[in-house]
Structure 1
Amino acid sequence: MDLDNSQPTTSNARPLVVAFTVERNAEGALNVLDSTLLARSESGRLHRWDPEFLETQDENIEVIDQRDEEEFIDFETPTAEALPTNSASEDEDEDEAELEELRQIFNASEDEEAVEEEAEAEEYAWTADFNMFRGQREVFSETPGPKIEGTGPMELFLQIWDQPIMDTIVEETNRYARQELEKAAEVGIGPKSRWNKWIETSVAEIYRLISVMVLMGLCVRGRVDEYWLSGVTRMPKKELMTLDRFWLMMRFLHFFNNEYSSPRDHPDRKLEKIAKLLNHLNRKFSEIYTPSQEISIDESLLLWKGHLNWVQCIRSKAARFGLKSYELCEALTGYCVKFFFYTGKGLVSPEPVLGFTSATAKIVINLMQGFLGKGYTLFMDNFYNSVKLCRFLKLHKTDVVGTLNRRRTDTPQAIKDVNERHMARGELVSRHCGDVTVLAWKDVKLVTTRSACWPRLFKARISAHLQ
């Protein structure tokens, strides 16, 4: 809505535009989410207004210009009353009706936001008095370590790649080979094609195929056929499998029956051909080993040079381009207990999960299924952390420690208001709400952390600082 001053107070005054962010709720009514002032350039284009100085005779407008924080304008009265309108291009009655409607919506939106903030304040009663903090570390009820007999490499390998999963791979590989050969026979298979040499595989041959791929990772070559060349550095692959057989096995290796394929718009379609294998690995990883009390959640990137529409680029990772996965690992050894791949925005259901609508919170809850209520201490960074999630995990006997993004809505206002440039090195600001603590500490940079179990060292440091 364009609200132009028809009689500017100064010669340098320029028309202003009040922009409203409006959404329609479930009942069909419009709610104003935010408002900002825009300036119209000489070319007629609108851009965010960044004033260095504002002259106004209206006491109802307060301009706050903060260079280091996000600029905003606080209206003590509705915007339509603060600025006169120029209705030269529109009918006055329609313009007044529109302004009145937006004024009512804007006032209603402010009331709703006040109610939400009040409810949030009641839920999180932040205080600086740590004598009232009642958070204690949960008692760990598990026995960490391997849950199998024998810890040799071959024993561990056979525990994961056991007979049932190998039988499934053999069955699906042979089925897929028959299906592809039948399709190719309708068109015609060339007399010199290696497809004419196909015979059904077995469990023993699948094991040999895996051993060949392990050996290929130990001695990298430029092309696949170079692994079968004779020489000093030749790996023992000819004794395990010929090159033609390797190509055939890689061509028909399969883990899923295509006859039961889901529709193209199914959310699990991207991973359905390897879903059985991924589920098996997740189950085995947790069956054969119990992690120690400290566990962590983070992202990993698997190098991938093929063509997939969900390949990610994370420049901080060694691979940079590949398949991103979310992993729950033991903090001490890095052992992966549970994981799942990120396949795009449709990975997480939009439906609330245990009251959480945030995608990152749903990821944490998904990975922690089976580990809640056992006294684990979960470490995670500010990508996942929130006070609400911390309290939920604490209620399920899971401690949480990690960095926190100060811009999150449930962060204490005292932490949000901290100015890093005004803090001395070693200075800290902390608040707690009984069971969750948030602390901002200045070292070289400002670090904000959140914890549900408060170490004695940090508690003593805060007590000494407050005195």
Structure 2
Amino acid sequence: MPRARKRLNDCEGPDELPASDSEEEYEVCSEAESVDSAEEEAFQQGLDLALDREEENTALLATPPKPTRWRNTNEDDVLPVQHPFAPVRTPGVQLDGHQQHTPLELFQLFFDKAAIRDLCNNTNLYAEAKKQKGMKMQWSPVTPLEMHKFLGLIIYNGLVKATRVQDMWRKDRLHSFPFPASVMPGHRFWAIFCNLHMSNTKEDEENDRLKGTAGYDRLCRVKPLMGQLLLACKAYYQPHQNLAIDERMVATKARMGLKQYMKQKSPTCSFKLFVLADSRNGYTSNFSIYQGRGQSRSGKGLSYDTVMDLLTSASLGTGYHVYMDNFYTSPALFWDLHKNRYGACGTIWENRIGFSKTTINTLPKRAARGDIRWIRTGPLLYVKWIDVQEVTVCSTIHKAYSGETIQRRLKNPDGAWSVQAIPVPDAVKEYNEYMGGVDLSDALVEHFTVSKKTMEWYRKLFLHFVDIAVVNSYIIHKELMQDKQQKTLKQKKFREILCQQLVDFGSNEATTPKKLAPELVEVLQEPERKPCYPATIVDTSASAKRDRASAGRRHCLLCLQRKKYSKTIYKCGYCDVALCIMADRLCFTEWHELMDS
């Protein structure tokens, strides 16, 4: 079934890096500041007050007359006219596929010479400004060569997972990492990190004077690098037709008013990013950062404005199909997307303004699994479907029902359980297939994330920008290799090569394409590991014969990672990891795909 809208994460990272050097650069985040308005509280619960009011706001929509009743599957539905898919460029990587591109070259698409130069200049200006204010510290200007080495060590820390970053320079028997010390002294790494700055200090001062006015930019300290990264994300890859929009949480304890706070959970806060991703591979095509409460620019709600900002026809084209969850979905948004020649599909709250209020022929309280009701208003289709619970979806790109089925384990009248095929609406089936684009991107980021604790909010976002650049670089590598029908690197190996190339940048061992080719060939020709195969977990000590097949059940590892507690009798015979193998939940396949990514 379509998943519920994702809530805020409470993920923890390793011990924090040195705290802030200046008390002037952040606003203290408190629960009172983060949730002191009805709008903010509703947003944290997945609601948008501009669209979820009880009273009807007729100004938002200009729709045909509302249908008077819900229809059954035996009543025909007519698919609305579909906009032809017309991207501005051929979907896929926008590079010469005949050339060989190293991990470093792909990473430099996002952190190019200009971005590195600006990062060095702004870091040096920030360090000098602190010294002029009387702060005593040893500092020499950072160079582009050092910045490459610094980025290499940041990525390296995501590979080794040291409890504290400082442990990478310890020399005792328990902590011995010779690689970081061979690249850069630990005190120099800390100096660069503590002074890392993405914006010009003079522009920061001018912006700080505007605090409390409409001209104040809360993202001033990240805008320069963020803008360069967004341009690169759009320039070097054209998404395929199916896109997903969802939130991404970046956990932090940095002190800043942009964070989201969950009262019912631990006091960990997070930055919320709105992400547009290619459903095919998880490539981050566009993103924005939630900047706190404020008036909706269009008057139609934050969720409406977010989607409209992420979908820019100048860089995308038209005819795209966009999938989203119930925080974003609204009749007003889908009508306007249809006018802009975009198709859309998403779960929807039934209290959204414009949703049909009729209850005639709606689903009964005790409807059977697979029961469907639908209603159409122009190009907007609303469909209700019973699975474990009732699911409501809105779509402008699907018919109500075309005979599709899905496998479910149901109880027969005689009490026995069996796998049966039940009807499923087209919109629900394709929502399940294409909505996971951002989740796939998140999984690639979280495997080897470079994120660390830091008390400066903009440095936390800088580390996430590095994550986005590395993951997008890796996805481009996979697409290029698959187009040439060659074996792709695993993400870990890709990061290892990238790390070495960054720390060797500018040295005699600098990896030019010709010199690196043998290394890449060697990696691509690594011996295949033994094939994975499903096996049963059997506890032969069970006394009753009928209990032996299930007595040794273990918790599925993938379900545990998703905070679900499902036990299974199956495991991977090679990896010795318990994984579900069910008609509606193939954790065995999904887990191995994630490990191979």
Tell me the TM-score normalized by structure 1.
0.65
**Distance (whole Å) between structure 1 residues aligned to residue 290 and residue 316 of structure 2:** 23
Gaps of at least 5 residues in structure 1 are 1-112, 190-194
Matched, 1:405 2:355: no
Q: Which has the higher contact order (CA 8 A, sep 6+)?
A: 2
**What's the secondary structure of 2:180's corresponding residue?**
coil
Q: What amino acid is the match of 1:202?
A: T
1:172-228 Cα deviation digits (max 9, x unpaired): 11111111111117xxx4xxxxx2x31111111111111111111212223333211
Aligned to 2:109: 159
- Choose from 252, 267, 282 the match for 1:304: 252
Q: Which residue of 2 aligns with 1:342?
A: 290
Alignment correspondent of 1:228: 169
Go from structure 1 to structure 2 and tell me whether the alpha carbon gap of 1:151 and 1:301 turns closer, same or farther (over 3 Å shift): farther
* Preserved contact between residue 139 and residue 375 of structure 1 (Cα < 8 Å): yes
Counterpart amino acid of 1:342? Y
User: CA, structure 1 residues 421+131, in 2 after alignment: closer, same or farther (shift >3 Å)?
Assistant: closer
1:426 aligned partner, one-letter code = G
Note closer, same or farther for the CA distance 1:306–1:132 as it changes in structure 2 (3 Å cut): closer
Give 3-state SS (helix, strand or coil) of 1:458's partner.
coil
The residue aligned with 2:195 is: 252
Name the SS for the 2:368 alignment partner.
Answer: coil
Once structures 1 and 2 are overlaid, which stretch shifts more, 293-302 or 389-398? 389-398
Report the equivalent of 1:365.
308
Conserved? CA contact 1:381–1:402, under 8 Å: yes
The SS at the match of 1:421 is coil
Offset of 1:311 from its aligned partner?
2.4
Distance in 2, Cα, partners of 1:351 & 1:266 = 16
1:328 is displaced (CA, Å) by 0.4
Q: CA deviation at 1:241?
A: 1.1
Structure 1 residues 318-329: aligned runs within 5 Å: 321-329=269-277
Q: Provide the rounded CA distance (Å) in 1 between the counterparts of 2:340 and 2:63.
A: 23
Instruction: Tell me if structure 1 keeps the 8 A contact 2:276–2:287.
Output: yes
Q: 1:447 aligned to 388, 391, 396, which one? A: 391
Distance 1:116 1:161, change over 3 A: closer
SS in 2 for 1:239: helix
Q: How many Å separate the matches in 1 of 2:280 and 2:237?
A: 13
Q: Which residue of structure 2 aligns with residue 178 of structure 1?
A: 128
CA contact (8 A) 1:209 1:246 kept: yes
Structure 2 counterpart of 1:143: 90
Equivalent AA in structure 2 for residue 152 of structure 1: T
Q: Which has the larger radius of gyration?
A: 1
DSSP 3-state at the match of 1:199: coil
Q: Is the 8 A contact 1:372 1:393 kept in 2?
A: no
Does the 8 Å CA contact 2:56/2:353 hold for their aligned counterparts? no
Q: Is 1:200 matched with 2:144? A: no
Counterpart for residue 180 of structure 2: 237
Question: Relative to 1, partners in 2 of residues 1:126 and 1:436: Cα closer, same or farther, differing over 3 Å?
Answer: farther
Q: For the Cα contact (< 8 Å) 2:258–2:291, is it kept in 1?
A: yes
Indicate the residue corresponding to 1:458 in structure 2.
401
How many Å separate the matches in 1 of 2:223 and 2:57?
45
The aligned residue for residue 19 of structure 1 is none
Deviation at 1:458, TM superposition (A): 2.2
User: For the residues of structure 2 that align with 1:170 and 1:250, how far apart are their CA atoms?
Assistant: 12
- 1:331 and 2:284 aligned: no
How far apart, in 2, do the equivalents of 1:115 and 1:314 lie?
30
Pick the aligned partner of 1:290 from 238, 243, 251: 238
What displacement does 1:140 show?
A: 4.3
What is the match of residue 30 of structure 1? none
Alpha-carbon distance between aligned partners in 2 of 1:133 and 1:221, rounded to the nearest angstrom:
55
| Residue 351 (structure 1) aligns with | 297
Q: Which amino acid aligns with 1:384?
A: Y
Q: Distance in 1 between matches of 2:253 and 2:364?
A: 42
Name the structure 2 match of 1:387.
331
Matched, 1:265 2:212: yes
Worse-superposed segment, 291-300 or 169-178: 169-178
Preserved contact between residue 86 and residue 317 of structure 2 (Cα < 8 Å):
no
Kindly indicate whether the alpha-carbon contact (under 8 Å) linking 1:426 and 1:442 is maintained by their aligned counterparts in 2: yes
Decide whether the 8 Å contact of 1:133 with 1:432 is kept in 2: no
Give, in whole Å, the separation in 1 of the partners of 2:148 and 2:93: 24
Q: Contact between 2:245 and 2:275, CA under 8 Å: does it hold in 1?
A: yes
Is the 2:363–2:373 contact (alpha carbons within 8 Å) kept by the matching residues of 1?
Answer: no
Which deviates the most, 248-257 or 129-138? 129-138
Contact preservation (8 Å) 1:329, 1:336: yes
Secondary structure at the counterpart of residue 341 of structure 2: coil
Partner of 2:321: 377
Partner Cα separation in structure 1 for residue 250 and residue 367 of structure 2:
40
Residue 266 to residue 233, structure 1, CA distance change in 2 (3 Å) = farther
Q: Counterpart in 1 of 2:22?
A: none
C-alpha distance in 2, partners of 1:374/1:318? Answer: 43
Cα distance in 1, alignment partners of residues 266 and 84 from structure 2 = 36
Deviations 1:313-367 (A, max 9, x none): 4699999742111100011211111111113113xx4332xxx521110010011
Q: 1:151 offset after TM fit, Å?
A: 4.3
The SS at the match of 1:160 is: coil
RMSD: 3.3
Unpaired runs of 5+ residues, structure 2, are 1-54, 406-422, 425-597
Please give the secondary structure, in 1, of the residue aligned with 2:179. coil
Q: Residue 134 in 1 paired to residue 80 in 2? A: yes
